[in-house]
Amino acid sequence: MSRFWTPEMSLEPQIQIATPPTGTWVQTERAAHERWSILAVENPRAAALLHVIIAKMGRHNALVASQETLSTLTKCSTRTVRRSLQVLKEENWIEVRQIGASGTVNAYIVNDRVAWSGARDGIRYSLFSAAVLVSDNEQPDTDDIGAQPSLEHILSLHRGERQLPTGPGMPPPSQPSLDGLEPDLPATSRDDPAQ
């Protein structure tokens, strides 16, 4: 009995997207599939890498990842990843924006004529918004990951919600009269029998 892949079956559990993309679907152009099939024959590693980038990209068609992380995900060397990225860039599948001086971490922006996720009118903002792919192996505190205390949860109100006060609260504020401005109204008391 064959088993189909589901999103719960992660290829590499130690690699996670820091800010997951919204939704589980991406859209592709039919014409891009025809070109993609040719790419798969001519350069299978580049075609596989393109699948990984598209699967991990954010809603503005961009992904920030290191070449080492992409190497782990595609199960090939970083040299092969670099060559594949060059093919994808030269053939206009992706645009590459370097992050940092070394050039090993980049923002990869997928051509919106190939695939997209989210609203198409936000595609050109992809240079400013990206999914960030993070690998445990590249972190300086790899041994401590998972052992840190939980972050403090900050409550927030959603549109249309109101905070309801709870607990005993404080007495209402009162201000004593100012000197010389005391009220001079006559006062009566119900306990006084003379009145």
50-106: pLDDT as tens digits? 999 999 888 778 889 999 999 999 999 999 999 999 999 999 999 888 887 777 888
Backbone angles phi, psi at 149, to 5 degrees: -65, 155
The total number of structural domains in the chain stands at 1
Checking if the pLDDT of 1 tops 70, the result is no
In angstroms, the first-to-last Cα distance of the chain is 98
Spatial separation of the C-alpha atoms in residues 125 and 133, rounded to whole Å: 19
| pLDDT on residue 105 | 87
Range of the domain at 33: 28-136
- Cα-based distances in Å from 79 to 7, 36, 85, 93: 28, 22, 10, 19
Tell me how crowded residue 128 is: count the other CB atoms within 10 A of its CB.
10
Of all residues in the chain, the percent with pLDDT exceeding 90 is 26
In contact, 100 and 10? CB cutoff 8 Å = no
| pLDDT on residue 31 | 85
Reported as a single tens digit per residue, the pLDDT across 20-57 is: 556 678 888 888 888 999 999 999 999 999 999 999 88
User: Does 86 reside within a domain?
Assistant: yes
pLDDT confidence band for 188 (50 / 70 / 90): low
User: Does 152 reside within a domain?
Assistant: no
In contact, 15 and 68? CB cutoff 8 Å = no
Mean pLDDT of 8-19: 51
User: Does 151 reside within a domain?
Assistant: no
User: Does 145 reside within a domain?
Assistant: no
pLDDT confidence band for 175 (50 / 70 / 90): confident
Backbone angles phi, psi at 66, to 5 degrees: -85, 160
User: Does 142 reside within a domain?
Assistant: no
Tell me which of 34 and 145 has the higher pLDDT: 34
CATH value at residue 76: 1.10.10.10
User: Does 53 reside within a domain?
Assistant: yes
**Best-predicted range by mean pLDDT among 40-49, 92-101, 109-118, 161-170?**
40-49
User: Does 176 reside within a domain?
Assistant: no
In contact, 88 and 57? CB cutoff 8 Å = no
Using DSSP's 3-state secondary structure scheme, residue 95 falls into strand
Structure-token match 């709870």, residue found: 166
User: Does 97 reside within a domain?
Assistant: yes
